[in-house]
Amino acid sequence: MVKWKPIKSIWFLTHVAATVFVAPFVLSISAFSVFVVLTVITLCFGHSLGMHRLLIHRSYECPKWMEYLFVYLGVLVGMSGPIGMIIQHDLRDWAQRQPQCHDYLLHGSKILKDGWWQLNCDLELNNPPEFIIEKEVSLNRFYLFVEKKWIFQQLILAIPLFLIGGISWLVWGISVRIVISVGGHWLIGYFAHNKGERTWKVEGAAVQGHNVRIAGLLSMGEAWHNNHHAYPGSAMLGLYSDEPDLGWWVLNILHNLGIVKNIKLPKELPFRSELVAEAENLDSRVERVPEDCKIAKFIRNGT
Ligand SMILES: [Zn+2]
Ligand SMILES: [Zn+2]
């Protein structure tokens, strides 16, 4: 049953109200710049690289300090805590691979109804599947703390923003950013399960993922969702050279710097017999591969 969740709903709608009724009247170049910089940092390093590609899929390895930093930036997106993110994601992942699945989990309703559901409600299952979250996360005191207090983490940004730039920086740096990030995440999720290109088909699945080309770059690579359904464990989401993937570019640099190790790519993942290539032009497309980065090499070796 889909049930209204007061905290989730009031949290999002409060920021929508501030975005509609306050933000336009306090707009300045500096406030807009703060919004852009914080949105890119939290979505790219936090949501995509921290929460999704690392914490959820373990698609690469990095030092613990980097994991905590990236996941914390992911909490600052304003969507939920790290454990909440894992549960939401794994439930969807599991359900979408079944032969049938609830409209809530596959974005199967009309856009307005889906928007209301996803941004204001949760699906309550009678017999929810049991997920075992790795102990390093589920018993970790840092993760448990930010899980409980994820909303309050915004204060780390809100207080300095208000002190430096007043109400203008506060509204653009917190409320507008949260509306664009959380609302954008839903909108891309909606299209990524309804419309767009498909390179692969996962046979027997309740829903297919689509690549939402128009959002590829802005989503930090997350909109290449057909690729993600095909290769969930891959650290690379934009798999071809015409699929921009900002998250991958950052990861590639960090790999060149020697900070990130054991990046998982589609070729290294276990074979899936249910995966069928659907696109006809696969042979003519150029696959993206890890590349040498001259700047990183210079930083490492000084040559
Ligand atoms: Zn999906
Ligand atoms: Zn995923």
Interval 86-125: pLDDT, tens = 999 999 999 998 888 999 999 999 999 999 999 999 999 8
State pTM to two decimals. 0.95
Max CA distance (Å), the chain: 61
Taken in order 280, 285, 291, 293, the sign of the CA dihedral is negative
SS3 state of residue 197 = strand
Q: What is the pLDDT of residue 299?
A: 83
Alpha helices in the chain (DSSP H): 6-21, 29-41, 64-75, 82-97, 103-106, 111-120, 135-138, 141-148, 155-170, 177-192, 225-230, 246-256, 294-301
Closest-lying ligand to the alpha carbon of 229? 1
How far does the centroid of ligand 2 lie from the alpha carbon of residue 223, in Å? 11
Q: Could you tell me the residue range of the domain that residue 51 belongs to?
A: 2-301
Token reading at 280: 């006809």
Token reading at 215: 């959002």
For residues 165 and 30, give the distance between their C-alpha atoms in angstroms, rounded to a whole number: 8
Q: Total domain count for the chain? A: 1
Closest-lying ligand to the alpha carbon of 52? 2
Is a pLDDT exceeding 80 seen at residue 302? no
How far does the centroid of ligand 2 lie from the alpha carbon of residue 31, in Å? 32
> What mean pLDDT, rounded, does the chain reach?
95
